[in-house]
């Protein structure tokens, strides 16, 4: 999809569909909408006066122009009440309009920027680009016969030349946010026989090469020298080699502050000897959703160039069953010297992250850390499929991350770290077990991760409930959502 800005009168634009927005209860039409109404002989005004068009949020009316405008159709979308309009609504309306145009078989559709008077020109343009590209995303597939998608061009129309710079900036930022999210979706949706830890490291290297990021990939020999036995233990049952992937962006060389984004990259999770039920196991190709989010975010950060130092650290492994696979009751010693009794091989993500977190702090000198992981099914039970769980050891840093969520439009809810729950994962043969059992499972998992960050400000995002969407929606297709990419970008820019 190409998004192009055209500075011209809206009545002159040629398109298969022209999209305009209408706020609820507004007595006087905006200038651009009024010009369309006049060209169409007052049809929009007549709809409003008759009560057939109110501007309620997502209310839709289609008008055919019959040659009175260069555009073949005018799609009117309700924006809702002015007081309730925000960037999320801007994204949703843009996605709704783009999908409706695609369903009509349009090749080109044109649109005004919705809500610029409320959000500001740049933010409204960003929301428009984000919503359009996120809403039009389609899962890549390996079908022999591919469906033909006609919609390839979007035209953003603005008559005021003075707004051009802000519009262009907003559209470009929105494009980067959406493209990086969609790139993460592609990674996460990829079948696990194609996206192995090695392939994931190759794709990360391609991103680094294309966008000027630093890249380091550690194989099993290098990790063994560093005594990263926790991460290695999870992948030891697989024929595929485990990897540690490190992407780096140096945007403020004078600063000693470094933000680390740490992603869980389990490219397939059978559960190991604590085998998952067969039903639904095919979705475990998405167990590297955290890794996808980190790579996607680093791709955008490299192009947006914030004044910050950011590293992305990904622990990549396959959790498989074989004669070499780790067994319940085995004990491994992590890179920081703490021992872990593996009582459930399906609680593998925290074991992978243990070494990745310590590496980010010890070797990369991270001063703040966010990890992103499809960690526990329990978080989906607690918060459902629209909100991720957030845990932190630092109130101030947690507030920074919450602000980033607010700006991105993604949703998180801070969960408690209950100290009394530590007893549930105490072990008689090691420093800890790798799980505290079913009750409070998301909290105990976070407490285990905390054992590997010491006093470094840290936020853990459990995205197991939100990383994939079985039904799909306007912004999130069926399959991977790419959750977390936009928030991580916002955090780095903030």
- Residue 402 annotated as catalytic: no
pLDDT tens digits, residue range 11-54?
999 999 999 999 998 878 999 999 999 999 999 999 999 999 99
Instruction: Label the pairing between strands 368-373 and 458-462.
Output: parallel
Q: What is the pLDDT of residue 473?
A: 81
Q: Is it the case that residue 470 has pLDDT exceeding 80?
A: no
Structural tokens at position 86: 């925000």
Q: Is it the case that residue 280 has pLDDT exceeding 90?
A: no
Choose among 241, 240, 203, 238: nearest CA to 220.
241
Tell me the sheet residues that pair with 318.
268
- Domains of the chain listed by start with CATH number: 2-177 (3.40.220.10), 190-493 (3.40.630.10)
pLDDT tens digits, residue range 400-427?
999 999 999 999 999 999 999 999 999 9
Percentage of the residues of the chain whose pLDDT score is greater than 90: 94
Mean pLDDT of 228-237: 98
Is 269 annotated among the ligand-binding residues? Answer: yes
pLDDT tens digits, residue range 60-98?
999 999 999 999 999 999 999 999 999 999 999 999 999
Q: What is the pLDDT of residue 354?
A: 98
Q: Is it the case that residue 147 has pLDDT exceeding 80?
A: no
Percentage of the residues of the chain whose pLDDT score is greater than 70: 100
Least confident of 106-115, 144-153, 330-339, 404-413: 144-153
Is 264 annotated among the ligand-binding residues? Answer: yes
pLDDT higher at 140 or 80: 80
Instruction: Label the pairing between strands 368-373 and 388-392.
Output: unpaired
DSSP states along 245-285: EEEEEES-TT----EEEEEEEEEEE--TTSPPPSTTGGGGG
CA distances from 283 to 299, 314, 328, 468 (A): 25, 20, 24, 9
- Residue 185 annotated as catalytic: no
Contact 303, 286 (CB under 8 A): no
pTM for this model (two decimals):
0.96
Q: What is the pLDDT of residue 235?
A: 98
* Active-site residue, from 73, 163, 175, 350: 350
Mean pLDDT of 243-263: 98
Mean pLDDT of 469-482: 86
pLDDT tens digits, residue range 347-385?
999 999 999 999 999 999 999 999 999 999 999 999 999
Mean pLDDT of 158-169: 97
Is 396 annotated among the ligand-binding residues? Answer: no
Q: What is the pLDDT of residue 64?
A: 97
Distance from C-alpha of 391 to C-alpha of 100, rounded to nearest angstrom: 39
- Mean pLDDT of all residues belonging to the chain: 96
Mean pLDDT of 251-273: 98
Q: What is the pLDDT of residue 149?
A: 77
Q: Is it the case that residue 146 has pLDDT exceeding 90?
A: no
């Amino acid at each position: 999809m190409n998004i192009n800005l055209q500075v011209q009168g809206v009545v002159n634009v040629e398109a298969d569909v022209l999209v305009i927005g209408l706020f609820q209860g507004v007595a006087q039409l905006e200038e651009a909408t009024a010009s369309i109404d006049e060209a169409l002989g007052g049809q929009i005004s007549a709809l409003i006066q008759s009560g057939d068009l109110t501007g309620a949020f997502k209310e839709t009316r289609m008008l055919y122009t019959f040659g009175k405008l260069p555009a073949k159709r005018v799609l009117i979308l309700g924006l809702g009440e002015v007081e309730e309009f925000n960037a999320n609504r801007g994204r949703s309306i843009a996605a709704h309009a783009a999908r409706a145009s695609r369903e009509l078989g349009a090749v080109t559709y044109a649109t005004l920027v919705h809500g610029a008077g409320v959000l500001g020109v740049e933010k409204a343009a960003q929301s428009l680009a984000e919503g359009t590209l996120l809403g039009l995303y389609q899962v890549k597939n390996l079908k022999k016969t591919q469906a033909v998608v006609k919609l390839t061009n979007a035209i953003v129309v603005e008559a005021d030349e003075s707004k051009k710079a802000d519009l262009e900036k907003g559209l470009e930022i929105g494009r980067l946010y959406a493209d990086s999210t969609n790139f993460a979706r592609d990674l996460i949706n990829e079948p696990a026989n194609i996206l192995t830890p090695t392939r994931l490291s190759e794709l990360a290297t391609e991103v680094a090469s294309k966008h000027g990021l630093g890249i380091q990939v550690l194989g099993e020999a290098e990790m063994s020298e560093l005594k990263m036995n926790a991460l290695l233990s999870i992948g030891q049952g697989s024929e595929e080699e485990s990897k540690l992937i490190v992407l780096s962006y140096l945007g403020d060389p004078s600063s000693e502050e470094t933000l680390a984004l740490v992603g869980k990259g389990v490219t397939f999770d059978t559960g190991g000897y604590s085998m998952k039920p067969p039903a639904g196991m095919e979705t475990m190709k998405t167990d590297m959703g955290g890794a996808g989010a980190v790579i996607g975010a680093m791709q955008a950060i490299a192009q947006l160039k914030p004044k910050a130092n950011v590293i992305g650290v990904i622990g990549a492994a396959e959790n498989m069953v074989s004669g070499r696979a780790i067994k319940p009751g085995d004990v491994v010693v992590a890179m920081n010297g703490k021992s872990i009794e593996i009582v459930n091989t399906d609680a593998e993500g925290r074991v992978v992250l243990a070494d990745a977190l310590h590496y980010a702090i010890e070797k990369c000198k991270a001063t703040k850390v966010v990890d992103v992981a499809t960690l526990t099914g329990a978080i989906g039970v607690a918060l459902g499929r629209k909100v991720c769980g957030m845990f932190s050891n630092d109130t101030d840093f947690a507030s920074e991350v919450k602000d980033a969520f607010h700006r991105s439009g993604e949703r998180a809810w801070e969960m408690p770290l209950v100290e009394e729950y530590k007893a549930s994962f105490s072990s008689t043969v090691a420093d800890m077990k790798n799980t505290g059992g079913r009750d409070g499972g998301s909290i105990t998992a976070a407490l285990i991760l905390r054992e590997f960050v010491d006093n470094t400000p840290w936020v853990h995002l459990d995205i197991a409930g939100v990383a994939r969407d079985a039904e799909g929606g306007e912004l999130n297709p069926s399959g991977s959502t790419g959750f977390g990419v936009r928030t991580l970008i916002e955090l780095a820019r903030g």
